Amino acid sequence: MNTVAGKRVCRLRRELAAGMVGSVPDGVPAQLSQMLEVIERHLAPTLLAVHLYGSAVDGGLKPFSDIDLLVTVTDRLDEPLRQVLMRDLLEISAQPGRSEALHALEVTVVVRDDIVPWRYPARRELQFGEWLREDIRAGSFEPAIVDPDLAILLTKAREHSIALAGPPAQELFDPVPEADLLGALADTLKLWDSPADWAGDERNVVLTLARIWCTAATGRIVSKDAAADWAMERLPVAHRPVLLEARQAYLGQGEDRLASRADWVIEFVLVTKHEITRLLDADAQGA
């Protein structure tokens, strides 16, 4: 039998189709309705909650923004369900900037008992994103994994999200301790040690580093463009062009040529990682 949240998803899809959901930002309802149809079809029997978070509710979608959805269920997914869910999401997602009708989707599925009570690092059941497109097409599906990034994701959801089904995120999830959030930032930095780690994804890495820097300094999680504005005032002048180009490209206001500016990007990564590490070390010593 469908859960209460599953029935709410069904009703919400009808409301979206009729234009009756005022809390959902402009430009989201059509694709969101498709996402909810996939979730309802595959996850309704175990569904506890669906939360919309990220750019869609924090400053509005930009040309290269993802639509971020956090889905909470009661049971783990078996492999056939994991695969069909990923394939169906692939059909209603598009690579950033490649479609006028579709945004890139990022859908994270968690089992409530894996994250409540909170523990670090926590286990996520599934994550879909455009970076997995070729793997999914090739029949390769990422399994459930322990993911430090859930500390950041759940903090964002608790701070600002729309409960499309189920209770508000502040009620459903425990707060993430500051030490765990900072630990997740430190773990994320380890992903980018050499140019091969950001090749082809320069814009996103540059903007993500600006966000991590802002969060490490202020404790706030802000949008990519807001983080870029914050970091721009603190960067040495020589490194600002990289961040400015990444910000303008993200907003659809300029061309992304960062792949051809390898030396500039390397210097930016080194400078921002140094500043972030300095802040995180100071926080650890003061704890």
Kindly tell me the sign of the dihedral angle through the C-alpha atoms of 224, 211, 190, 268.
positive
Q: What is the DSSP string of 103-172?
A: PEEEEEEEEHHHHSS--SSEEESEEE-GGGHHHHHTT-----EEETTHHHHHHHHHHSEEEEESS-HHHH
Q: How far apart are the first and last CA of the chain?
A: 48
Residue 89's H or E segment, with its range, is: helix 79-91
Question: Which of helix, strand or coil describes residue 190?
Answer: coil
Q: Are 154 and 173 in contact (CB under 8 A)?
A: yes
Q: DSSP class of residue 174?
A: P
Phi/psi for 276 (5° steps) reads: -65, -45
CA-to-CA dists, residue 240 to 204, 274, 275, angstroms: 16, 16, 15
Single out the catalytic residue among 40, 106, 125, 202: 106
Known catalytic residue at 79? no
Q: Which residues are catalytic?
A: 106
